[in-house]
Amino acid sequence: MTARERADRLTGLAFVSPALLALAALTVYPGLWVLWLSLQQRVPIFGIARFVGVEHYAFLAGDARFWNAGRVTLVFTAVSVGLELVLGLGVALALQRQRGGRRLALSLLLLAWALPSVVTAKLFEWLYHPSAGLVNVVLGGHAFNWLGDPRLALPGLIAADVWRTMPFVALLCYARLLTIAPEVYEAARVDGAGRGATLAYVTLPLLRPILLIALLFRTLDALRAFDLMFVLTGGGPASTTETLTVYAYRSLFQTLQLGFGAAVGCVIFALVMLVAGAYLRALRGQGATA
């Protein structure tokens, strides 16, 4: 080992340790602690703290509210992410053919994505106002109670989420489209491919890896989403928009059952890791790093 290699080893350790200590204290340690918490009955206001093993998890298995929250989470995630991918892909393809005004276009596109989700919730609360909301006015003066009707609240919530996150998918796809060499399209044209064939056999296959990555990022975010439903509907009406995250939050800080809430939080964590693992395997199977 040369002197420089030895010095580099020391520098490396010195450089990486502060960040690692911070991560250990702020993510790894809480990550382990929450697991431990979930095995306890903790109700601070009554001074209750005792070990109960997997009792909370056993309770969850038969908890109708938990299964409802799970169903709402899955419907929210599947529909929301599906719509975002289709719309985002469409917008990216439209942007690909654009020549002037790209900066303005991206500003308009990214605005919805960059806003705090609490602002989005307030925007849509007002848009969904039963008598004066823009949505009902545009629909021809109906008096739909978007956030109060159990059949409409989840679609209303999903629409707000799609509005917020479609731009992200569109931007990723657009960025990938910009890297496709013009020669590729040239070759397709020489081979006599029409617009439809070019899209199906050239563009979409090239976009596949980035679509998978967008799908991964968006699915993880949708499973973890909290702000929008918490502020817009608070999980209501009649728990039709109560996701696992909202259920966990309410258990933790509204009914103050820290142990039980931690157990719900751990289930969400497991779900996120399962999905992430599945996607990563799919990505690797493709040998794709875009």
Site for another protein contains 231 (CB under 8 A): yes
Span from 16-24, 48-56, 190-198, 200-208 in contact with another protein (CB under 8 A)? 16-24
Site for another protein contains 220 (CB under 8 A): yes
Site for another protein contains 103 (CB under 8 A): yes
Site for another protein contains 34 (CB under 8 A): yes
Exactly one of 69, 176, 177, 233 binds another protein (CB under 8 A); which one?
176
Exactly one of 207, 214, 215, 229 binds another protein (CB under 8 A); which one?
214
d(Cα 68, Cα 58) in Å, to the nearest integer?
A: 16
Span from 76-84, 129-137, 150-158, 190-198 in contact with another protein (CB under 8 A)? 129-137
Identify residues 54-93 at the interface with another protein (CB under 8 A). 91
Exactly one of 184, 253, 274, 286 binds another protein (CB under 8 A); which one?
253
Locate 84 and state its tokens.
Answer: 């975002």
Q: How far is CA 232 from CA 212, 241, 265, in A?
A: 29, 10, 21
Exactly one of 57, 144, 185, 226 binds another protein (CB under 8 A); which one?
226
Site for another protein contains 281 (CB under 8 A): no
| Spatial contact of 250 and 25, defined as CB atoms under 8 Å apart | no
Number of H helices, E strands in the chain: 14, 2
**Closest CB to another protein among 163 and 239?**
163
Site for another protein contains 30 (CB under 8 A): yes
Site for another protein contains 51 (CB under 8 A): no
Site for another protein contains 18 (CB under 8 A): yes
d(Cα 102, Cα 139) in Å, to the nearest integer?
A: 31
Helix axis angle for 117-127 and 153-178, nearest 10°, is: 130
Which of 124, 122, 143 has the alpha carbon at shortest distance from 132? 143
Exactly one of 117, 233, 239, 241 binds another protein (CB under 8 A); which one?
117
Exactly one of 51, 59, 126, 201 binds another protein (CB under 8 A); which one?
126
208: enclosing H helix or E strand: helix 204-224
Locate 135 and state its tokens.
Answer: 């949505």
Exactly one of 39, 124, 203, 239 binds another protein (CB under 8 A); which one?
124
How many Cα neighbours within 13 Å face the side chain of 5?
2
β-bridge mates for residue 43, sequence order: 48
Site size with another protein, rule: CB under 8 A: 97
Site for another protein contains 141 (CB under 8 A): yes
The set of residues, in sequence order, having a beta carbon less than 8 Å from that of 183 and lying 6+ positions away, is none
Q: How far is CA 193 from CA 90, 101, 185, 188, 238, in A?
A: 20, 29, 9, 5, 53
Shortest Å distance, C-beta 64 to another protein: 21
